[in-house]
Chains A and B, each alone.
Chain A
Amino acid sequence: MQYFSDAIQSLKTVFIGMKVTFKHLFVPSVTIQYPDIRLALPERERNRLYVNMDDCIGCDQCARACPVNCITIETVKSLPEEDLGKTSNGKRKALWVTQFDIDFAKCCYCQLCVFPCPTECIYMTDVFEFSEFERNDLNFSFVTLTPEEITQKKENFAKMEAEKARLKAEQAAQKAEAAAKAAAEKKSTDQSEKEDK
């Protein structure tokens, strides 16, 4: 009797299983057709960084905060007569940013560079698909200046420095001359005083 009940039991359980799977045939699928349909990302997601160069003052704080040193910043001082404009929160820009590279091959997406920024110009975007075939292609440059402009700015700065140095030297020379004159005058007055005596 055990034999028949076993056979019937096994057949019954097969039908129970088939009922379950048949029901699932009509359950809406949980698949998301990814490139066509994208789910909203979480509120504080950390993806690729973006730098708004209009607001960047070149303060280097993000590069110093970076734990993996993936941000490289190079700046050049502007000439006094040049007006670089102001950032969106009213800070005066004084430096030409000639290099602002972020190497996403190194970036660990820790977001530590975002907090120290005084103008909030470096922030996380929602772009997370940026694979490349070459590692160098992951080194993103955010500089808005053209290479010619960069060399020009550098030359300007060098000229200004040279000018300053020249002025300084001139001033020093003048000072020295003046000092010499004064010394000479003093001598002469001393001598006349002596003669007076």
Chain B
Amino acid sequence: MIYDFLFKLTGSEIWAVIIQSFFPLFLFILPFALFAVWLERKVSAHMQDRLGPMRVGYHGALQTIADILKLLQKEDIIASENDKPLFNLAPIIVFVGSYAVFAAIPFSGAYIGSEIDLGLFFIIAVSGLVVAGILMAGWSSNNKYSLLGAMRSVAQIISYEIPTIIVVLTIVMITGTLSLYKLSELQSGHLWNWMIFGGPGSDLHKFLFIPFMFIGFIVLYISTLAEVNRTPFDIPEAESELVAGYHTEYSGMKFAMFFLAEYANMFAVSAIVAAVFFGGYQSPFGYLGNTLHIPWLIPVEQFFWFTAKGLFFVFVQMWLRWTLPRLRVDQLMAVCWKYLIPISFVNLIIVGLISVL
């Protein structure tokens, strides 16, 4: 829809595609990252009975902009023993990996960057690119802490992709589609039609699904949390052990790229959780645009609901960060291989049996 509008506006397919592909970056990722960094600092501060940034703007609202300006001015340091081509490429790859995910995220019924049938598959595949970027960053830094952080990160992300995929597979098995647009449309109507409540319909299957959907949701949330290296799974960055992990050697804008990628990833995984289990961009109550008969209001409302759901899960990520201590490496692997994978696999089999019934 946006594409058709831009095509009419510019009269050129190329310009329409270019403008459309920059939409998520400039209209969403950058403002979101600015807001999320501020939110993170505020949430962490208030959870520790502090105030957090208070000086720049109202309650420190412009603090992140000031920080970005500072990062832009900083010197771009490249140590002499670095592997320069890889060192320069790594932040770009990490950012590209997290940015490409946004192509398939259904912000609203009217705007999905690329409405592909393999949306979920694409997201999971492309977010794997981040692993390569992180390993490149750690390896080319020529620093023991960076390398150790990168190795941990790779081990962690690859392990935790498995429960993520199995849970997503469970949903795909029920809905029969990998397209995030179709998945969101399926969950339309009401709160009760969300996948966490067993999906659309009102037969016996739906009620039997509910407990297993909750298990699936918890497994998916824990594993996506580990995939974006957030506490309690932040051992790749573990500031008390590894300085800053794989981005120890980076400064200035390259560091900002990692930072931006981290926050973009946080939203991306929250968006996946929201899209898979919580109705995607669907409103929980029905639309104001429908009752007032204003058709253009519906996509705006959908965008609002999607962002709200995404932000809520981002908030929960921050909340968990200030609640739980970091896991040890062996505990991290135990959680994944001994608990999440068997549970999600059994969950998959049970859901499969129920849907056969």
Please give, as numbers and ranges, the residues of chain B lying within 8 Å of A21 by CB-CB distance.
47, 319, 322-323
- The residue of chain A having its C-beta at the shortest distance from the C-beta of B340 within the complex is A7
- Please measure, in the bound complex, the distance between the C-alpha atom of A56 and the C-alpha atom of B106, giving whole angstroms: 80
Question: A7-B339, A7-B343 in contact; A29/B45 too (CB < 8 A)?
Answer: yes
Q: Which one, B30-38, B48-56, B111-119, B255-263, is touching chain A? A: B48-56
- Please measure, in the bound complex, the distance between the C-alpha atom of A20 and the C-alpha atom of B47, giving whole angstroms: 9
- Nearest chain A CB to B223 CB, angstrom units: 14
- The residue of chain A having its C-beta at the shortest distance from the C-beta of B339 within the complex is A7
CB atoms of A25 and B324 under 8 A apart: no
Please give, as numbers and ranges, the residues of chain A lying within 8 Å of B322 by CB-CB distance.
21
The answer to the question of B46 belonging to the interface, with a C-beta cut-off of 8 Å to chain A, is yes
- Please measure, in the bound complex, the distance between the C-alpha atom of A145 and the C-alpha atom of B339, giving whole angstroms: 84
| Count of inter-chain pairs, beta carbons less than 8 A | 39
CB atoms of B343 and A30 under 8 A apart: no
Question: A7-B343, A18-B319, A33-B54 in contact; A24/B324 too (CB < 8 A)?
Answer: no
B-contact bits for A7-47, CB 8 A (1 contact / 0 none): 10001001001101110111111110100000000000000
- Please measure, in the bound complex, the distance between the C-alpha atom of A37 and the C-alpha atom of B312, giving whole angstroms: 34
The answer to the question of B78 belonging to the interface, with a C-beta cut-off of 8 Å to chain A, is no
- The residue of chain B having its C-beta at the shortest distance from the C-beta of A31 within the complex is B51
CB atoms of B49 and A29 under 8 A apart: yes
CB atoms of B51 and A14 under 8 A apart: no
- The residue of chain A having its C-beta at the shortest distance from the C-beta of B343 within the complex is A7
- Of the four ranges (under 10, 10 to 19, 20 to 34, 35 or more), the interface on chain A belongs to 10 to 19
- Nearest chain A CB to B181 CB, angstrom units: 33
Partner of A24, one of B48, B54, B218, B343: B48
Partner of B319, one of A11, A22, A30, A31: A22
- Please measure, in the bound complex, the distance between the C-alpha atom of A26 and the C-alpha atom of B339, giving whole angstroms: 34
- The residue of chain B having its C-beta at the shortest distance from the C-beta of A7 within the complex is B339
Question: A14-B323, A18-B319 in contact; A24/B50 too (CB < 8 A)?
Answer: no
- Of the four ranges (under 10, 10 to 19, 20 to 34, 35 or more), the interface on chain B belongs to 10 to 19
CB atoms of B49 and A18 under 8 A apart: no
The answer to the question of B320 belonging to the interface, with a C-beta cut-off of 8 Å to chain A, is yes
Please give, as numbers and ranges, the residues of chain B lying within 8 Å of A28 by CB-CB distance.
49
Partner of B43, one of A7, A17, A25, A30: A25
Question: A17-B323, A17-B324, A33-B54 in contact; A24/B339 too (CB < 8 A)?
Answer: no
Please give, as numbers and ranges, the residues of chain A lying within 8 Å of B46 by CB-CB distance.
24-26, 29
B-contact bits for A39-66, CB 8 A (1 contact / 0 none): 0000000000000000000000000000
CB atoms of A29 and B51 under 8 A apart: yes
Please give, as numbers and ranges, the residues of chain B lying within 8 Å of A30 by CB-CB distance.
49-50
Partner of B218, one of A11, A18, A27, A29: A11
- Nearest chain B CB to A9 CB, angstrom units: 12
Please give, as numbers and ranges, the residues of chain B lying within 8 Å of A20 by CB-CB distance.
323
- Nearest chain A CB to B345 CB, angstrom units: 14
- Please measure, in the bound complex, the distance between the C-alpha atom of A33 and the C-alpha atom of B48, giving whole angstroms: 16
- Please measure, in the bound complex, the distance between the C-alpha atom of A43 and the C-alpha atom of B278, giving whole angstroms: 60
Please give, as numbers and ranges, the residues of chain A lying within 8 Å of B320 by CB-CB distance.
14, 18
A-contact bits for B319-338, CB 8 A (1 contact / 0 none): 11011100000000000000
Please give, as numbers and ranges, the residues of chain A lying within 8 Å of B343 by CB-CB distance.
7
Please give, as numbers and ranges, the residues of chain A lying within 8 Å of B49 by CB-CB distance.
24, 27-31
- Nearest chain B CB to A4 CB, angstrom units: 9
Question: A7-B339, A7-B343, A22-B319 in contact; A14/B48 too (CB < 8 A)?
Answer: no
Please give, as numbers and ranges, the residues of chain B lying within 8 Å of A29 by CB-CB distance.
45-46, 49-51
A-contact bits for B98-122, CB 8 A (1 contact / 0 none): 0000000000000000000000000
- Please measure, in the bound complex, the distance between the C-alpha atom of A17 and the C-alpha atom of B231, giving whole angstroms: 14
CB atoms of B323 and A33 under 8 A apart: no
Please give, as numbers and ranges, the residues of chain A lying within 8 Å of B54 by CB-CB distance.
33
Please give, as numbers and ranges, the residues of chain B lying within 8 Å of A33 by CB-CB distance.
51, 54
Please give, as numbers and ranges, the residues of chain B lying within 8 Å of A7 by CB-CB distance.
339, 343
- Nearest chain A CB to B40 CB, angstrom units: 13
- Nearest chain B CB to A54 CB, angstrom units: 42
- The residue of chain A having its C-beta at the shortest distance from the C-beta of B46 within the complex is A25
- Please measure, in the bound complex, the distance between the C-alpha atom of A25 and the C-alpha atom of B324, giving whole angstroms: 15
- The residue of chain A having its C-beta at the shortest distance from the C-beta of B335 within the complex is A10
CB atoms of A18 and B45 under 8 A apart: no
- The residue of chain B having its C-beta at the shortest distance from the C-beta of A23 within the complex is B47
A21-B47, A30-B49, A31-B50 known, 8 other contacts, Cβ within 8 Å: A11-B218, A18-B323, A21-B323, A24-B48, A25-B43, A25-B46, A31-B51, A33-B54
Interface CB pairs A-B, < 8 A, 14: A7-B343, A11-B218, A14-B324, A17-B323, A18-B319, A18-B320, A18-B323, A20-B323, A21-B323, A29-B49, A29-B51, A31-B49, A31-B51, A33-B51
Nearest first, the 9 closest Cβ-Cβ pairs linking A and B are A31-B51, A17-B323, A21-B323, A29-B51, A21-B47, A25-B46, A24-B47, A18-B323, A29-B49
